[in-house]
Structure 1
């Protein structure tokens, strides 16, 4: 039997916030267009591998490490590119999706493994801070998603059992991690065109963010 979640958590980078300012910062510092997906993937690989190995690495350190591996940027310029995460804005479909949940009486939080302050700055820039109850980063527990610890910790902070929380993300690995931790997972495409065929299908696969929210509210 399914039921509507009490709390819906949203991934931040790419899912809610557009990474275009980071891509632009790379180009401004002499890097080729289209490099960001490779840098971002290397960042996630570094952070998650470190978590599995028992090493605690902050998001910014993993991102700057990826830049050092993939570019010839100086340490100073790597820091400037990393600073551009504070310039992110929400995708156009984010405000109506969060508002629909708020109007339905469902609590909304964000759950990132990004640097503290990034989600807050982006939500403020988009004028949607009032729609979000709290912003959570797994840096607090020093465990990158998709580790089970990150999702269970978030549910505990929100005062609900994992089964009463959902995670919405545009990354299949994140949604799969949430489902393995007992949350309801909802995936929709942005950079990923389809759900990862190698992984079991989550509770919700939608065509877009609005569809993911509608499916959760209909449970």
Structure 2
């Protein structure tokens, strides 16, 4: 075991709180409880399209999920999608990223979200200086957890996959990273436990700080 040279973080839910998107749904007459279903349908649509060999950007997949689950007009759906540019980091994000930065570990983000979302959220949280670069797999037109997305990210950072880790609050994302040769680190947010039945990743931690501590201790 060795400490990773680069640690990549998933963005939506892992780093950034989706509460503004939930609030936008409420403003347009939808229940706040609909957000997890819409987000899950978005991920399902995008990853299914990738597996089938069809390219679909994140915003298009999100719009598709809203169209399937609500009767919102085109304009209202666009306004809800715009709320992704209003996301802010969870309170535990700044200290976790700072700990890595101060330890000399390179920090990047890796999302399949729309370009600009991660940048806006990091800027709003005042943590842009802690992040070397923001990456979106839209650049290679492949949603995570496809192997291509993680290998592209490692190449973009100039490191071998084995020298890179991915931290995410989504088990499927951590699984994809590990299958591509990265070190995976999972902690809970919306998921209570790492998905039973999947091979356990290198790190399963009780929180984001614990995930970072475990990676630094390798």
Please report the TM-score for the alignment, with normalisation by the length of structure 2. Answer: 1.00
1 CA distance for matches of 2:55 and 2:142?
7
1 CA distance for matches of 2:47 and 2:102?
35
Structure 1 residue runs without a partner (length 5+): none
Partner of 1:134: 133
Deviation (angstroms), 1:33: 2.0
Deviation (angstroms), 1:201: 0.4
1 CA distance for matches of 2:71 and 2:175?
35
Partner of 1:102: 101
Partner of 2:27: 28
Partner of 1:197: 196
Is the partner of 1:116 in helix, strand or coil? Answer: coil
Partner of 1:119: 118
Partner of 1:148: 147
Partner of 1:47: 46
Structure 2 residue runs without a partner (length 5+): none
Deviation (angstroms), 1:32: 1.1
Q: How does 1:1-80 map to 2 (within 5 A)?
A: 2-80=1-79
RMSD: 0.3
Is the partner of 2:32 in helix, strand or coil? Answer: coil
1 CA distance for matches of 2:165 and 2:86?
27
Runs of 4+ displaced beyond 3 Å? none
2 CA distance for matches of 1:24 and 1:162?
38
Partner of 2:209: 210
Is the partner of 1:168 in helix, strand or coil? Answer: strand
Q: How many residues align?
A: 218
Is the partner of 2:108 in helix, strand or coil? Answer: strand
Cα-to-partner distance string for 1:14-33 (whole Å, 9 max, x where unaligned): 00000000000000000012
